[in-house]
Amino acid sequence: MKISFRCNGKPMQLEISPETRALDVLRDTLGLTGVKEGCGKGECGACTVLVDGLPVSSCLLPAAKLEGTEVLTIEGLRKPDGSLHPLQQAFLDEGAVQCGFCTPGMIMSAKALLDETPRPQVEDIEEALSGNICRCTGYGKIVQAVMRAAEKSEEGRHDG
């Protein structure tokens, strides 16, 4: 079947088989390997991407459901000038990255949160990232990073 959608700002038209997962389309067809597969069952969050601004587990999403949507993956997060998104910078600065396998999904979930709740409480961050497992960091620095990114974005808004 044919699907068309926008991915990281670019229009896509693809022929897919109906049982294909969105994850496979993104990784195998479009080469967006920043989208990770950690469990294939929606239990780890490594494959999280934003569809129309909302985080979804792309391993559970039939690719057919991408039809007409706007998809954002970790690859689309960098600013056009190549500089890092505040969340990417904050994850680096705060030491929220160890092995980095959970990081893309983690950052996408955090982005969806900050888009909706620019100044989150710790509880908001916990809820937003509750589907993203990290085995390396113990999560403390991830919470700090999201807090820091929120502060930075806020400053950015005021400065601008």
Partner 1 sequence: MVTAYRPATLQEALSMLKETDGIPLSGGTDLMVRLRAAPGTPARFSRPLVYVGSLPELLAVEHSEGGSWSIGAGVPLSDLLKLKGLPEALGAAIREIGSPAIRNTATLGGNICNASPAADSLPALLCLNASARIAGPGGERLQSLEDFITGPGKTALKSGELLVSILIPPAPPMKLFYRKIGTRRANALSKLSVLGMVKIENDTVKDLRLAVGAAAPKVVRIPEAEKSCIGRSVSQVAADHHTLLSMYREKVRPITDQRSTAGYRERTALRLIEEFLTKELSP
Partner 2 sequence: MTGKELRIVGRRVRKVDGIELVTGQAKFTADMKLPGMLYGFARRAGQPAGKLEGVKKDEALKIPGVVDVLTAEDLPGPNLIGVLPPFDQPVLATGDIRYAGESVAFVVAETREAAKRGAAALDVRITEVPPILTVDEALGDGARKIHENGNITFSRKLIKGDADKALAEAPVVVENTYETSFQDHAYLEPETDLAVPGGDGRITVYASCQSPFHLRGLIAANLSVPAGRVKVVQSNTGGSFGGKDDVAVEIGILAAAAALRTGRPVLVAHERGESMVGSNLRHASRITITTGATKEGKIVARKIKIILDGGAYASESPFVVMKALIHAAGPYLIPHVFVESTAVYTNKTYAGAFRGFGVPQVTFASESQMDELAAKLGMNPLTLRKINALRPGDATATGQVFKQSVGLLQAIEILEKERLPEKPEDPSDRYLYGTGHSCMLQGISNGAEGVDVVGATVQVSQDGSALVGLGLTELGQGSRTVYAQIAAEELGIPLETVTVRQVDTDSVHDSGPTVASRSTTVGGMAVLKAAREVKESLLDMAALMLQTDKKEIYFQDGFAILSKNPDARIPLREVATAAYWTGHPLMHLAFSKAPEAKYDHDTHQGSIYIAYNFGAHRMSIRIDRWTGEVRVLEHLAAHDVGKVINPVGLEGQVEGGSLIGYGYAHMEKIEESRGIIRNANFADYAVPSIKDRIPTRTLVVEEANPTGPYGAKGVGEPPVAATAACFANAVSDALGVRFTRLPVTRQDILRALQSGAATHGGDKNG
- Site residues, partner 2 (CB under 8 A): 27-28, 31-41, 43-44, 46, 73-75, 77-78, 84, 88-89, 91-95, 97-104, 107, 125-126, 129-143
Q: Give every CB contact of residue 139 below 8 A, 6+ residues apart in sequence.
A: 129
Residue 65 vs 135, nearer CB to partner 2? 135
- Residue 45 CB, nearest distance to partner 2 (Å)? 9
Number of neighbouring beta carbons within 10 Å of residue 95: 13
E-assigned strands of 8-86? 10-15, 48-51, 54-57, 70-72
- Residue 33 CB, nearest distance to partner 2 (Å)? 4
Q: Which does 151 bind (CB under 5 to 8 A by kind): partner 2, partner 1, none?
A: none
Residue 64 vs 84, nearer CB to partner 2? 84
Number of neighbouring beta carbons within 10 Å of residue 44: 22
- Residue 141 CB, nearest distance to partner 2 (Å)? 6
Q: Which does 61 bind (CB under 5 to 8 A by kind): partner 2, partner 1, none?
A: partner 1
Q: In angstroms, how far is CA 117 from the centroid of its own chain?
A: 16
Residue 120 in contact with residue 146, Cβ under 8 Å? yes
Residue 108 vs 157, nearer CB to partner 1? 108
Long-range contacts, 25-28 (Cβ 8 Å, 24+): 25/63, 25/66, 26/58, 26/71, 26/73
β-pair partners for 12:
5
Q: Which does 140 bind (CB under 5 to 8 A by kind): partner 2, partner 1, none?
A: partner 2
Q: Which residues bind partner 1 (CB under 8 A)?
A: 1, 17-19, 21, 40-43, 45, 48, 51, 54-57, 59-62, 64-65, 109, 112, 126-128, 130-133
